[in-house]
Amino acid sequence: EADIYQTPRYLVIGTGKKITLECSQTMGHDKMYWYQQDPGMELHLIHYSYGVNSTEKGDLSSESTVSRIRTEHFPLTLESARPSHTSQYLCASSGGTGPNQPQHFGDGTRLSIL
């Protein structure tokens, strides 16, 4: 199994709170990704990173922000949570230079905003 970890697994929190979802990988991968996935639906890329100090917005607009200060760490932050942010958030990473390298996924964080 891939060594990529997300915490928390589940979070139920009230509107207006600041939230940080953690993602760490121990594989030394340079590329990391955040996806948003509603239950039983497709994945939408919301952020990605080529490496340290490099972050880009994905294909789906998101009010969240990310940072990449260390290779192994790629946290996602919501400054003021709203019910529309309720979803599952998946973190992934990939290494190497070839496009045949698969993305390795974490277990995900199920976020529910009341």
Partner 1 sequence: AQTVTQSQPEMSVQEAETVTLSCTYDTSESDYYLFWYKQPPSRQMILVIRQEAYKQQNATENRFSVNFQKAAKSFSLKISDSQLGDAAMYFCAYRSTYRGGAQKLVFGQGTRLTINP
| Closest distance of CB 103 from partner 1, Å | 6
Secondary structure (3-state) at 84: helix
Tell me phi and psi for residue 83, to 5 degrees: -55, -30
Of 53, 61, 84, 97, the one binding partner 1 (CB under 8 A) is: 97
CA dist 114 and 75 (Å) reads 22
Least distance from partner 1 to the Cβ atom of residue 80, Å = 28
∠77-79-84 over CA atoms, to 5°?
A: 90
**Among positions 21, 106, 109, 113, the unique one binding partner 1 when judged by CB under 8 A:** 106
Q: Which spans of this chain sit near partner 1 (rule: CB under 8 A)? A: 1-2, 31, 33, 40-43, 45, 48-50, 56, 58-59, 90, 92, 94, 97-103, 105-108
